[in-house]
Structure 1
């Protein structure tokens, strides 16, 4: 990749090092960004089995998703400032060790409440990966190129949620849900070794020299940026709809529509193919269209398709496929919404890339806490609860994107 694409690279030697190992860097960064997906999607087919194993209802089992999102969103607020202060590599290693510990704890859980607690530990470690990976992209690339890079990373990382439910279903077929979490622990250990291929992108002279207390207080200044908030809120609504889908489909598809656990993985994986295709399309369109405009187009399509999900689940039209088809297009809009909103938001904060990335991630995944919990709280045994939550989130995403604070020069979609 041409060295002129890099921004703020510290030395020519560093640029040469990154160029020489571009493919490995891409793969490792994509793997780090995929930890939220791999930590959840792999065990989605096991949710009904966990309800039976723990002698509890689906709503309580879905709390293992909400608890993970709590740890994942709040933990990012810790790793962001730490990575600005101490560099990108050390916090990732510590986070991966926590992830391994939490995965082993989940594997040995005897009750649903034990798993809820261990999922928080697992999430506190897992969230170091994506927040620091996004910051590393900001370290190395300018705005439009960082949007392309993030789209590329998301396309590669989409392999994890594509294969996760399929592999999880096969593990359940031959072994048990415990093996799913032992496998996640092994993934964490492999990633620690793979970090050798990842160069440090934040040289000591560029690291923040203020105290950690002052750095954490820097979140207040970031929250005063209306531009950053609008991108974060729009992305948060989208993630809220996505996690309503993630929490709701195991029971909607497997329990309500009687889809076998092994086939559920294929239905889930089709949506990931849509995400990958949309991210690839985004990288092509960015040559001709601004990232802001693509972001707004994505939110408009997300709103329309989310309303389609809500309407079809309310009236019960068309059965499973009338849900699966609009969900496919809603989830695909990840390709136009996430990379472009993150790149635009981080562009204004080169010296606080870690903290800004953490704040974005916390707000994105924090919305998933609420939506996944709502799916459990209002569960009525039908797909309607999932449907109205996705519909509300899609409309909220579109409304947030129309804010003039996020759009400086172009008309709203």
Structure 2
């Protein structure tokens, strides 16, 4: 990519960072970075849309198939299982074959699975097809992260990831609201038909809007043994494993909210499908503010310091949320306020924990991103049905949110030891530009 005028490449002189080996993304103009964020944000949004868009329809699916709420929540679990397993496969494939081919194949699989969900004759078929949907969405999730790591490292990676999360934040905001509006005109099956249309648009974006970012010279050799060795090397890195667990436990808090919010707000607090959609979207305002504020914070503070403070605040807010849910004090406004603060803290955790983890293993960004995503969605797959098993009430949701954030804080302090990250972070320069 090249340009002139306001497309002039950014140089090291544009920042106050000390001299370092340049990554390909350092030579991109601001306009090119914005275009990259929009393309990758659209692709990574596939996962959140697949997960969240049908949330307002969960009670309707319960009635349509004459089944229980916990059984229908297993369709959410199926999607998360597909996302977890798919990333473990797609990550090493993308390190061996490049980013574009696995991405396009994954989107195609998602389109076919979405069409099947729209035509599902029973809850068992819907659950199985949701697993396949997750497998397809995994390609967009892991490759989107890997592309960013191909181009950037360190704080630059965390900053771009925060920009990317602005686009990604639109997905959970719009998904339940869009789903609830679609339910005005169609049944729950129409939501999956809309995902078919979105998948086709993403296929066009992936085909014509994204260049290959992993040249042949940087690709890993394929095969089961080299892949196993890569995973083993990642798992032997204590700080990496700890950061993956931190990100996964924060994700568990998110999925506790995702799995329980529709039942808590509609059945316990009496909101309509449309009111729930707007309430769910309103909670994401804090996510947007925090992710974009993270860019400014990174100019003054290290990612590990931001991560530590965010988990301290998030844990405190989640414990307040649990108290409100258990006592009913303050009603729905108090519940939403404490939930909003916890989600805001999570929004600061989510770009910084993955950025610190992936910055340690730029030589295998796809595999590292796959392991990160697989653990995140695997923990989410376990968390989602727990909300139903504990009763689908506000206490169940709040208990899992608080548990996830407090455990993440403990892992950060005892396993990762953030004060040591700056001196131990191996960030191999895969491309050096003179």
TM category, shorter? over 0.9
2:144 matched to 1:133?
A: yes
Q: Residue by residue, what CA displacement relative to the aligned partner does 1:240-289 show, whole Å, maximum 9, x if unpaired?
A: 11101100011110111110100111110112111110011100010010
Q: Distance in 2 between matches of 1:7 and 1:138?
A: 13
Q: Residue by residue, what CA displacement relative to the aligned partner does 1:125-148 show, whole Å, maximum 9, x if unpaired?
A: 001112111111111112100000
Alignment partner, residue 315 of structure 1? 327
RMSD: 1.9
| Deviation for aligned residue 1:237 | 1.1
2:114 matched to 1:99?
A: no
2:37 matched to 1:22?
A: no
Secondary structure of 2:217 counterpart: helix
| Deviation for aligned residue 1:55 | 0.4
Q: Distance in 1 between matches of 2:220 and 2:345?
A: 35
Alignment partner, residue 219 of structure 2? 207
| Deviation for aligned residue 1:3 | 5.3
Q: 1:44 to 1:137 in 2, by over 3 A?
A: same
Q: Distance in 2 between matches of 1:114 and 1:243?
A: 23
For residue 288 of structure 1, the aligned residue among 277, 296, 300 is: 300
Alignment partner, residue 272 of structure 1? 284
Q: 1:202 to 1:406 in 2, by over 3 A?
A: farther
For residue 205 of structure 2, the aligned residue among 184, 191, 194 is: 194
Alignment partner, residue 387 of structure 2? 375
Q: Residue by residue, what CA displacement relative to the aligned partner does 1:268-313 show, whole Å, maximum 9, x if unpaired?
A: 0112111110011100010010011001111111111111121111
Alignment partner, residue 183 of structure 1? 194
For residue 243 of structure 1, the aligned residue among 232, 252, 255 is: 255
2:292 matched to 1:260?
A: no
Alignment partner, residue 3 of structure 2? none
| Deviation for aligned residue 1:19 | 6.4
Alignment partner, residue 169 of structure 1? 180
Map residues 290-369 of structure 1 onto 2, 5 A cutoff.
290-369=302-381
Alignment partner, residue 24 of structure 2? 9
Map residues 20-169 of structure 1 onto 2, 5 A cutoff.
21-169=32-180
Q: Distance in 2 between matches of 1:237 and 1:107?
A: 32
Query: Does 308-317 or 90-99 show the bigger shift?
Result: 308-317
Q: Distance in 2 between matches of 1:340 and 1:191?
A: 27
| Deviation for aligned residue 1:404 | 5.5
Q: Residue by residue, what CA displacement relative to the aligned partner does 1:298-342 show, whole Å, maximum 9, x if unpaired?
A: 111111111112111111222222221111111112331111111
Query: Does 294-303 or 203-212 show the bigger shift?
Result: 203-212
Structure 1 length-normalised TM: 0.94
> Is residue 103–residue 184 contact of structure 1 (8 Å, CA) maintained in 2?
yes
Q: 1:185 to 1:77 in 2, by over 3 A?
A: same
Q: 1:259 to 1:137 in 2, by over 3 A?
A: same
Structure 2, unaligned runs of 5 or more: 1-8, 16-20, 423-434
Q: After TM superposition, which residue ranges in structure 1, 4 or more long, deviate above 4 angstroms?
A: 3-7
Q: Distance in 2 between matches of 1:85 and 1:154?
A: 27
Q: 1:89 to 1:261 in 2, by over 3 A?
A: same
Q: Distance in 2 between matches of 1:166 and 1:204?
A: 43
> Is residue 279–residue 336 contact of structure 1 (8 Å, CA) maintained in 2?
yes
> Is residue 7–residue 140 contact of structure 1 (8 Å, CA) maintained in 2?
no
Q: Distance in 1 between matches of 2:294 and 2:404?
A: 22
Structure 1, unaligned runs of 5 or more: none
Q: Distance in 1 between matches of 2:241 and 2:127?
A: 30
| Deviation for aligned residue 1:118 | 0.3
> Is residue 93–residue 222 contact of structure 2 (8 Å, CA) maintained in 1?
no
| Deviation for aligned residue 1:9 | 2.7
2:242 matched to 1:230?
A: yes
Q: Residue by residue, what CA displacement relative to the aligned partner does 1:364-405 show, whole Å, maximum 9, x if unpaired?
A: 1111111101012221x5322112111211211111121253
> Is residue 63–residue 376 contact of structure 1 (8 Å, CA) maintained in 2?
no
Secondary structure of 1:402 counterpart: helix
Secondary structure of 1:284 counterpart: helix
Q: Distance in 1 between matches of 2:221 and 2:401?
A: 43
